[in-house]
Amino acid sequence: MDSCGVYVIQRRDTGDSYIGSSYRVNARWYAHKRALRLGIHHSPRLQATWNKHGEEAFTLRVLEECPRETLLEREQEYLTAFRPVSTRA
């Protein structure tokens, strides 16, 4: 079952990260990977790092499952707390 929640895409060796949220985290991870593989991801920094280090360098982890009603609020709290680097090349 696909969960609703806040997730992090993290570079394994540096810990640099991209934080996002979705009603369907697994489906969103698939969409991220598809865009990255095609070279059309909306985050230029994440795309550049993906291009340089490859798919194997990244992992996805669910930070928190939460109801839809609090999803954006919870995402913002993680963005504020962790201030992710958004991965650098």
pLDDT tens sequence across 5-15? 999 999 999 98
Q: Which amino acid is at 43?
A: S
pLDDT at 89: 46
Q: Considering the entire predicted model, what is its pTM?
A: 0.88
Please report, for the chain, the start and end positions of each structural domain, with discontinuous segments joined by +.
5-82
Q: What is the mean pLDDT of residues 61-88?
A: 87
pLDDT tens sequence across 37-70? 999 999 999 999 999 999 999 999 999 999 999 9
Tell me which of 3.40.720.10, 3.30.930.10, 3.40.1440.10, 3.40.50.720 is the CATH number of domain 5-82. Answer: 3.40.1440.10
pLDDT at 1: 64
